[in-house]
Chain A
Amino acid sequence: MLPWIYGFTWQTGNVIFLSIFYCVVAVIFGSFGIAVIRAYRDLTSGRLNEIRWHVDFDDLPEFAKTCRHVFSGEIEYQVCRNGFDCRSCKTHSGIIGVHMGANASYTGNESPSGLTIQSDCMYHRGHTWVHRESDRTLTIGLDPLAERLLWSRGKAELPEVGSRLHVNGAGWYFRNGGSRVRVLSPVDGEVVAVGGRDEGFYLKVNPGDDSDLRHLLKGTEVYPWMTREIERLEILLGADGDGINLADGGVLLDDVAASYPELNWENILAQMLLES
């Protein structure tokens, strides 16, 4: 094993074999050690939000990761590999360059399954809407589907005024007993005011100079996305229960969870709000 251990001989084969063995051991433990050091750095450098989103996004089923340009019919099929961050996506930049006016003509308010989509709002894939105010602040609320899913999910735990939000980091939480549901932040910025369901919004954020909102859905993309999300909800309801189906052409109930109390809502909400 080692030169000073009984049984060791200075034979070529012995030395080669043990050298290879030590190299392999060094690679295994070295790699593990590097992982531990990196994890420590992640913990101390505040990258946890980014990592959590990376891990969650990676675990999402491909159906939930469909590229936004599939909704608008610009691409037949593509799965997002960019964590829904279109700001750094080459595909998005390329398509926007060609179809710049695709969404500009959209003005109507549509209501898939009775869920009203506001044409002056932008939507995040984590089921929040964003409205740009005249004073350049951004108002954030839950989209109508999430409102109906979270109707009876306890109290909202909102961030403190002055705290910073990051796109796809934790925005705020809903706590119900021991379970907690996370809502993703749709934008970067500093929280300047907090509201609640009664106020009609949850957060007001000052994006500062960082007001790039290209990653948010708008115009003609929103209706097909919302329709697909309703389909995804139906699948999750069916998978978790005994094949529950939402009626085609019907209106979604105000409090969906209360209608199916036997289902594992912690899991369903996590899936719908992109928390794998």
Chain B
Amino acid sequence: MPFGKFVSLMIPWTILLLIGMYAIFLCLTKGLNQTNMDNRFAFGVWIFLDLSVIALGAGAFFTGFLVYIMKRDELRAVINSAVVLGFICYSGAILILMVDVGQPLRAWFTFWHPNIHSMLTEVTFCITCYLAVLSVEYAPLVLKNKKLKEIPAFLAMEYELHRIMPVLAGVGTFLSFFHQGSLGGLFGVLQAHPFAFREGLAIWPTTFFLFIISAAAAGPSFILLTTWIVSRISRKRLVSESVYTLLARISGSIPLVYVLLKSIDTFTWLNRTVPQMGLSGMSFFLWAPFNIWILFVEIIVFGLIPSLLLIFGGGRLRAGWLVASAALVCCGILLNRFVMTIQTLSLPTMAFDRFMLYTPSWQEISAFLFVVAYGVIIYSLSFRYLRLFPQETELDRN
């Protein structure tokens, strides 16, 4: 793609980035009164974004695990792209968390004076460490740039960083496993919100495990989806059909397990957890617009149907169907995170509470879009100047 055209494509995203930077500046300097969050809606669109991008970014750890630990060499075709996506997702999430928490000058308190009773402390520690891992994994991609490789120190560093990748992949898997779980573990202590509260094993509620599995399900789907989108935009074949098929199988089988476990969890919650609290589970689905349809869409439309399409259609269906199915799986994860945050807080919990709808302020939306624009720009630059898809050159011969 000519440089001029590339720049022109980046201009709208840069404008979005600048607006987002201004909104973030306002939030950090004037405080959280710039948002529409309050004591009732302490979790807003930012937390939804955090949970979502961390789930979508799980492709980095899961692909790294499959390539370096399980030795699935076919996935080397997408590992670089997965690392960049992971880096974007986690750095974006940490940035928004800093804005959400406010008091940026005291951000280090969370490490120096950690609240050891909070699962979110573990989340903070894990995602910070994992961002460090992703940065080290991203570095060799940058150092592999032809011009940079001419510098001997960079060449040697790139080579040596590549040698420690299996260790980093192992650490990344360990960290991701725990922080994805701990994000779900939060709902084990939300007894004041029966809609989200879950029981489980010891300190780990069922959502601890469901969040891990759903993230592992969303990651490969997101990689499949982004690879296809980039391939269409660049008009290049980036990975072979067999890689798409493998990603489709992985993207299909894990969501199927998730759908099964999620169904059991929902059934248990409806028939055991909520009745024990003296409530009726179905009463939570009486509030429009969040009626029972949302549960049906999450489990059937965004879960079961795309899973079956991906598993059984992996080698037969046209790419469009696979990509649409992967997109549905990603939508399912987004919907799940939306339900667990926004819908949970919308529902009344006290006798005097009312059902509330939350509308984010323009500053919140701009900060949200900042992360999207940041992701698009970083990925586009990486795709243009780095070697994200090693099979690209070879596939051009066909």
Residues in chain A within 8 A of chain B (CB atoms): 1, 5-7, 9, 11, 13-14, 17, 21, 24-25, 27-28, 31-32, 34-36, 38-40, 42-43, 47-48, 51-52, 54-55, 59, 61-63, 231-232, 235, 238-239, 270-271
Interface residues of B in 160-182 (CB under 8 A from A): 160-161, 163-164, 167-168, 171, 174-175
Known: A38-B163, A48-B155. A239 touches B116 (CB 8 A): no
| B160 contacts A1, C-beta separation under 8 Å | no
Q: Is the interface of B mostly helix, strand, loop or mixed?
A: helix
**Cβ-based interface call for B193 (8 A):** no
20 contacts between A and B (CB under 8 A): A1-B114, A7-B113, A28-B136, A34-B160, A35-B157, A35-B160, A38-B160, A38-B163, A42-B156, A48-B155, A51-B159, A55-B144, A55-B158, A55-B159, A59-B144, A59-B387, A62-B394, A63-B397, A239-B397, A271-B393
| Contact partners of B380 in chain A: CB under 8 A | none
Q: Which of B157, B158, B171 contacts A27 (CB 8 A)?
A: B171
| B396 contacts A235, C-beta separation under 8 Å | yes
**Cβ-based interface call for B254 (8 A):** no
Assembly CA distance A55 to B396 (angstroms): 22
Residues in chain B within 8 A of chain A (CB atoms): 111-116, 122, 125, 129, 132-133, 136, 144, 146, 149, 152-153, 155-161, 163-164, 167-168, 171, 174-175, 387, 390-391, 393-394, 396-397
| Contact partners of A9 in chain B: CB under 8 A | 116
| Contact partners of A6 in chain B: CB under 8 A | 113
Known: A31-B168, A51-B155, A59-B144. A1 touches B394 (CB 8 A): no
| B155 contacts A52, C-beta separation under 8 Å | yes
| B394 contacts A61, C-beta separation under 8 Å | yes
Assembly CA distance A62 to B159 (angstroms): 20
Which A residue sits closest to B115, measured CB to CB? A7
Name the distance in Å between A231's Cβ and chain B's nearest Cβ. 8
| A39 contacts B394, C-beta separation under 8 Å | no
Name the distance in Å between A43's Cβ and chain B's nearest Cβ. 5
| B152 contacts A43, C-beta separation under 8 Å | yes
| Contact partners of B113 in chain A: CB under 8 A | 1, 5-7
Which A residue sits closest to B168, measured CB to CB? A31
Q: Which of A28, A38, A51 contacts B168 (CB 8 A)?
A: A28
| Contact partners of B116 in chain A: CB under 8 A | 9, 11, 13-14, 17
Assembly CA distance A42 to B154 (angstroms): 11
Name the distance in Å between A110's Cβ and chain B's nearest Cβ. 24
| B161 contacts A35, C-beta separation under 8 Å | yes
Assembly CA distance A27 to B168 (angstroms): 8
Which A residue sits closest to B121, measured CB to CB? A17
Assembly CA distance A62 to B392 (angstroms): 11
Most buried by A among B132, B153, B164: B164
| A61 contacts B159, C-beta separation under 8 Å | no
| Contact partners of A35 in chain B: CB under 8 A | 157, 160-161, 163-164
Assembly CA distance A235 to B132 (angstroms): 40
| B396 contacts A238, C-beta separation under 8 Å | yes
Assembly CA distance A21 to B174 (angstroms): 11
Q: Which of A34, A55, A232, A235 contacts B155 (CB 8 A)?
A: A55
Assembly CA distance A238 to B398 (angstroms): 10
